A and B are shown apart, each in its own frame.
Chain A
C-alpha cells in the first residue's frame, strides 16, 4: 500500500506561492503598498487597488510544515507571549524577533493591516499588537457571529463596513477607487472559489484522486490569491489533473480501503507522516472542512460590495455548530467518508470548542468519529505515539463494521 506520486500542479503551486512571498518583499521597489491581511479578510479589494497582500497566517502554516514552528513559538514565549496563544500568532511574533528561524526569512513590514474577525477574535488581538509594533493603520472588519439564522441587523452592519472600505483604501493608498477593476477581482474570486469547489468534489471518486493533505498544500492560492487570474488558471489546471486521475481510477492511496473526513486545520508538521501512516493502512483523508471553507463565494450581484460582505460574513468559522454539523454531514455523504477525524487544535479554540458535541451527534447516527488533540503549527505539542495508537484503533473499528 502506498501513496501516488505528487500532483503535477503541486510544482506550479510552489512557484506561485514563492512569487507571492517575493511580491511582498519587492512591493516597495515597485511603488506598491503591503498590507497584512487575515485569511478571512476581503482581499479582492486589495487586489483592486494594487496593494500586495501578505498573510501572516500563511507564514505560520509554512513554518509549521517546515517544523520551524516550535523554535519560533519559543522565541515569542521568551518575549512574554503565553504558550496558550495561537501558534500562528506566536510564530509571527517569534519571526519578528528571530527572522532567521523562519524558512522564508520572515515577512516584509506592512504599510497597513486589514483584520476581519470572521475567523476568530484572536486575530484582532494579534493585529492590534502589530499595529502598535509597526505604528501603521489597522482596518478592522467586524462580522458578528451567526449563531442561527441570518440576522438582518448584522447583515446591514457588515455591509455598512464594506461600503466604507473603498474610501478607506483610497485614503490609505492615495489612489482613486477603481470600481471596474474591483468588479473584475470579485468575478475572478468567485471563479476561483467555484473551481476550488470542483477540485474538492473530484475526491468523491473512488479511489479518491487526491488526499486532504494534498488539498491543504494546494489551497495556498485560494487563501492568498483570491481575485487574481493566477488563482483561476491554477485551479482550472488542477481540476483537469484531478478529474483526469479520477477518470483513470488513479487514487491518492492504493489500494483504498477507508475514506476519512478531517475537521479543523491540519497538523502542518505531521502532514507527510500522517498521510503515510494512513496510506500504509489503506486509509485516505478524502476531504477536510478547512479546505471546504474556501468554497464560499460572493453571489453574482450588481452590488458586489454587498455580495462580498454577505459571503465573508458566512464563512465556516463564523457560523454556529448547527450549520457546521450540517456541512460535515453533507461533505461526508458526498465524499462517501467512512468516518470523521476531529483535530482538536490547541491553537484554534473557535474551531475546536464544540467538536465533541458534533462528534457525539454524528456517532449517535452511526458515523464513526475520533477527536484527537494536537497543535496546528507548534510541533512541540504533538504526541506521535498516542496519535498512532488511537488512529490505528479507529481504523480497525471502521474496518470491523
Chain B
C-alpha cells in the first residue's frame, strides 16, 4: 500500500477510509505485498520487530466495528477488550494472521488466555512488560522478552528478524513519530488547524497503515496552511486512553480545538524515539523504559499527574477533558487524583466515560462536552 504524493484532502479522506474499514486496508496491503498482518492489543508492542519481520502491525482499539450482541465476555470488562473480542469472534479481523498481546492490564493480558482457550488457532505471542523500569532485573527481563518476540515474529513470517531490518524499522518509526509530534505541535500553535475528528482519524490510521504510508499522510496534512487555524472557543487537552468518534464530533461541533493530548491512541503511542544505532533490542528496551507516564505503567508518586499538567501548561490548554474508557481500571483509578489536582490548580476539568458500545449515550455526551467547552465564556 503506497499513498504516493498525497495532498491534504486526499490524506484526510484516506484516513477516514481506513477508519471506516481498517480490515479492508489490511487486506489490500496483504494483496499487494503477499505478507502477513499481526493484530496487536494496545498499548506498547514494539512494532519495529514485526515490521522487521516483514509483517504489518495493526493495533486493535475495540471500536473499529459495531459490537456483536454477545461475545461471551463478562460485562464488567472494558470496551476495548469487549470490542476486540466481538470483532474477532464475529470474523471482522480474519485478515489478521497472528496476535501479539501485551500485559497492559489484567483484561488485555488475559485476552491471550481466553483467545487460546476459545480455540483461536492463529499464532499468538504474550509480551509481558516489567511493571516499572527501576525494579531489579527489569531491563534484562524485557530484553529477553523482546528477543523471544523477535524469534517468534521470524517464525510466523518466515523471515528472520535481523539487526539491520530492525534498525531500518526503527528509523521508519522514528520518522513517523516525529511527524506525529509535528502535527501535535501544529495543533498547539494553530488551534483548529486539524479538527478533533481529523486528529482521531490520523491517530487511528497509524494503528493500521505501514509507517511509511502513514508518515506520507501526516506530511500531507502538515502542508495545510496555518490560515486554516481559527480562534477556538476553548483550548482542550485530552487525557485518557482514547477518543471516540462521538467525542471528536462533539468537540468539533462545540467549537473547541484540541491543543494537546496524552492519549493512549495518540501521544502515548507515538512518542519516544528509539536509538537508531547500536544494539536494536536494547534500543527498544530503553525506549520502553523511558516512556512518558501512563496509567498502565507504574511510576512512583505523582509522575503521571505532574507529567499531565506539564503537558497542559506547555500546550496552553485552558481545560482538561479526561476520556475514561468505560470500565478501564487503570484510567478509572487515576481519575480522582487527576480531578483533585485540576481543582487545586484551577484548571477546568471534566471526566467522561467513553464507550464505543454505548451509542445511545452519544447525545448526552455531546451535551456535556458542549457545556464544558462553553464553561467560563
Taking beta carbons and an 8 Å cutoff, which residues of A are in contact with B? 79-82, 84-86, 89, 93, 117, 120-122, 124-126, 128-129, 131-132, 138, 140, 142, 144-145, 147, 153-154, 156-157, 160-161, 163-164, 320-322, 325, 344, 346-347, 349-350, 352-358, 361, 373
Are the C-beta atoms of B333 and A352 separated by less than 8 Å? Answer: no
Q: Which residues of B contact A164 (CB under 8 A)?
A: 136
Taking beta carbons and an 8 Å cutoff, which residues of B are in contact with A? 72-77, 81, 103, 105-107, 109-114, 116-118, 126, 128, 130-132, 135-138, 140-141, 144-145, 295, 298, 300-302, 324, 326-327, 329-330, 332-337, 339-340, 351, 353
Are the C-beta atoms of A353 and B302 separated by less than 8 Å? Answer: no
Q: Which residues of A contact B118 (CB under 8 A)?
A: 357
Can you list 28 A-B pairs with a CB-CB distance of less than 8 A? Answer: A81-B333, A84-B329, A120-B106, A121-B106, A125-B333, A126-B333, A132-B302, A132-B337, A140-B132, A142-B130, A142-B132, A142-B135, A153-B141, A153-B144, A153-B145, A156-B137, A157-B138, A161-B136, A321-B116, A325-B117, A344-B74, A344-B76, A346-B74, A349-B74, A349-B76, A353-B73, A354-B113, A373-B75
Q: Which residues of B contact A132 (CB under 8 A)?
A: 301-302, 337
**Complex alpha-carbon distance, A124 and B130, angstroms:** 13
Are the C-beta atoms of A80 and B336 separated by less than 8 Å? Answer: yes
Q: Which residues of B contact A145 (CB under 8 A)?
A: 103, 109, 126, 128
Nearest opposing residue in chain A for B335, CB measure: A80
A161 CB contact (under 8 Å) in B117, B137, B353: B137
Beyond A354-B110, A355-B74: 19 further Cβ-contacts under 8 Å?
A: A79-B336, A81-B335, A82-B324, A84-B76, A84-B327, A121-B109, A129-B333, A142-B130, A142-B132, A142-B135, A154-B128, A156-B141, A157-B140, A160-B136, A160-B137, A161-B136, A349-B110, A350-B110, A357-B118
**Complex alpha-carbon distance, A309 and B340, angstroms:** 38
Nearest opposing residue in chain A for B324, CB measure: A82
Nearest opposing residue in chain A for B351, CB measure: A80
B358: min CB distance to chain A, Å: 13
Are the C-beta atoms of A138 and B300 separated by less than 8 Å? Answer: yes
**Complex alpha-carbon distance, A85 and B295, angstroms:** 14
Are the C-beta atoms of B329 and A122 separated by less than 8 Å? Answer: yes
Q: Which residues of B contact A82 (CB under 8 A)?
A: 324, 327, 332, 335, 353
Q: Which residues of A contact B295 (CB under 8 A)?
A: 125
**Complex alpha-carbon distance, A361 and B118, angstroms:** 9
Are the C-beta atoms of B337 and A140 separated by less than 8 Å? Answer: no
Are the C-beta atoms of B135 and A161 separated by less than 8 Å? Answer: yes
> Given that A157-B138, A320-B113, A321-B114 are known contacts, is A125 also in contact with B107, CB under 8 Å in the complex?
no
> Given that A80-B336, A126-B333, A147-B113 are known contacts, is A346 also in contact with B76, CB under 8 Å in the complex?
yes
**Complex alpha-carbon distance, A128 and B98, angstroms:** 35
Q: Which residues of B contact A346 (CB under 8 A)?
A: 74-76
Are the C-beta atoms of A352 and B298 separated by less than 8 Å? Answer: no
Nearest opposing residue in chain B for A76, CB measure: B336
List 5 A-B pairs, minimum CB-CB distance, nearest first. A125-B333, A80-B336, A160-B137, A357-B117, A142-B131
Are the C-beta atoms of B103 and A144 separated by less than 8 Å? Answer: yes
**Complex alpha-carbon distance, A131 and B327, angstroms:** 23
Q: Which residues of B contact A163 (CB under 8 A)?
A: 136
A357 CB contact (under 8 Å) in B114, B330, B335, B336: B114
> Given that A145-B103, A153-B144 are known contacts, is A352 also in contact with B74, CB under 8 Å in the complex?
yes
Nearest opposing residue in chain A for B109, CB measure: A145
Q: Which residues of B contact A131 (CB under 8 A)?
A: 300-301
Q: Which residues of A contact B114 (CB under 8 A)?
A: 321, 353-354, 357
Nearest opposing residue in chain B for A160, CB measure: B137
Q: Which residues of A contact B135 (CB under 8 A)?
A: 140, 142, 161
B297: min CB distance to chain A, Å: 10
A80: min CB distance to chain B, Å: 4
Are the C-beta atoms of B334 and A125 separated by less than 8 Å? Answer: yes
Q: Which residues of B contact A154 (CB under 8 A)?
A: 128, 141
A315: min CB distance to chain B, Å: 14
**Complex alpha-carbon distance, A353 and B113, angstroms:** 9
Nearest opposing residue in chain B for A141, CB measure: B135
